Amino acid sequence: MQINLTGHHVEITDSLRDYVNNKFTKLERHFDHINNVHVVLNVEKLNQLAEATVHLNGSEVFASSQNGDMYASIDSLIDKLDRQILKYKGKINHH
């Protein structure tokens, strides 16, 4: 799984990069067919915004999360992506 991390109005530090990588390994444990992930971290005044597009085999999942703390927004983003990926996995297994 390849993770592309981009920052708008925020510097991507090593700790942020490690935090994102560790969180996305949780998604990879639930579903093995993740090809590519594009994560955008953005700061707009007081809001910290995290967006991610996950490219799966034959599909694509997008989620966005906004919070006052960047780490909290990343946690919320991972929870949303986890739910969507498990739903997609259930659809594939059902067919």
Alpha helix segments (H runs only) across the chain: 14-30, 70-94
User: Rounded to two decimals, what is the model's pTM?
Assistant: 0.88
2-19 confidence digits (pLDDT tens): 999 999 999 999 999 999
> Average pLDDT over the chain, rounded to whole?
91
For 28-80, give the DSSP string.
Answer: HHH-S-EEEEEEEEEEETTEEEEEEEEEETTEEEEEEEEESSHHHHHHHHHHH
Confidence bin at 1 (pLDDT 50/70/90): confident
- Which domains are assigned to the chain? 2-94 (3.30.160.100)
Share of the chain above pLDDT 70, in %: 99
Residue 73 pLDDT exceeds 80 = yes
Residue 41 pLDDT exceeds 90 = yes
